[in-house]
């Protein structure tokens, strides 16, 4: 991870560079960040922190963690079971469980609805057969769509961690924020005072420059 801090005096820049490295290491994202750039203007209480995200794992889809067996799915990676069940119930509705084994995830048997199989409502077409088995009543085209649903996206978790790290790096008093999102990174403009339009433009310029760095790698 490359870190560059500018805008402050030599001591301030060095201190923030060390802080950026320490925090990114502590939250475990150094290996996923290609570059971190920070700009400081102490006179106007302006801080811009831009991160270019590097390699991230691919999204985990239903087909990656299940095996289809006729009208049911067998969960092959228990780690993703809670997220998978929540995803399916949210999209297709929750039917009554059939003989759910002990040790099932907390909350699995809560909120059972009446009217399973009500075609007009279009819900309650997924039910839990056992701890790692899910039955369904879906058309084949719906099953094909189901298998491509994203269960977990590592980029979402990484972005959450990066935003947490940025919050730790920026001064506590700099609570006025202006985020700039790009395809491969995130940039936050922070200040203690209302942010002028010229600084918003500067933050967006830095974000685009960081995006360009990504494209040239």
d(CA 180, CA 160): 15
Distance CA 38, CA 188 (A): 10
Question: What is residue 159's DSSP assignment?
Answer: H
Tens of pLDDT, residue by residue over 59-107, are 999 999 999 999 999 999 999 999 999 999 888 877 555 544 444 444 4
Q: What does the alpha-carbon distance between residue 95 and residue 89 come to, in Å, rounded to a whole number?
A: 8
Is the pLDDT at 21 greater than 80, yes or no? Answer: yes
pLDDT digits (tens, 9 = 90+) for 116-175: 333 333 346 888 888 899 998 888 988 999 999 999 988 888 999 999 999 999 998 899
Domains of the chain by residue range: 2-57+154-216, 60-152
Instruction: Identify the pLDDT of residue 183.
Output: 86
Q: What is the CA radius of gyration of the chain?
A: 23
The model's pLDDT over 208-217, given as tens digits with 9 standing for 90+, comes to 998 875 444 3
Give 188's contacts (C-beta < 8 A, 6+ positions apart): 48, 49, 50, 163, 166, 170, 177, 178, 179, 180, 203
For the stretch 68-72, contacts whose Cβ atoms lie closer than 8 Å and that sit 24 or more positions apart, written own/partner, are: 68/143, 68/147, 71/135, 71/136, 71/137, 72/129, 72/133, 72/134, 72/135, 72/136
């Amino acid at each position: 991870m490359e870190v560059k801090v500018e805008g402050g005096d030599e001591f301030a820049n060095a201190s923030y560079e060390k802080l950026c490295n320490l925090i990114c290491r502590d939250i475990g994202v150094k290996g996923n960040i290609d570059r971190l750039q920070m700009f400081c203007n102490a006179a106007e209480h302006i801080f811009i922190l831009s991160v270019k995200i590097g390699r991230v794992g691919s999204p985990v889809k239903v087909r990656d963690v299940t095996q289809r067996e006729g009208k049911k799915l067998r969960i092959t990676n228990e780690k993703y079971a809670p997220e998978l069940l929540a995803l399916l119930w949210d999209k297709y509705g929750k039917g009554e469980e059939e003989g759910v084994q002990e040790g099932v995830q907390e909350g699995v048997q809560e909120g059972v609805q009446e009217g399973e199989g009500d075609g007009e409502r279009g819900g309650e077409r997924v039910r839990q057969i056992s701890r790692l088995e899910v039955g369904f009543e879906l058309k084949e085209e719906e099953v094909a769509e189901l298998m491509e649903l994203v269960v977990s996206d590592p980029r979402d978790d990484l972005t959450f961690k990066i935003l947490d790290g940025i919050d730790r790096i920026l001064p506590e008093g700099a609570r006025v924020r202006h985020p700039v999102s790009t395809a491969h990174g995130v940039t936050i403009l922070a200040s203690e005072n209302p942010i002028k339009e010229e600084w918003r433009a500067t933050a967006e310029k830095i974000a685009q420059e960081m995006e360009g760095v990504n494209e040239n790698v």
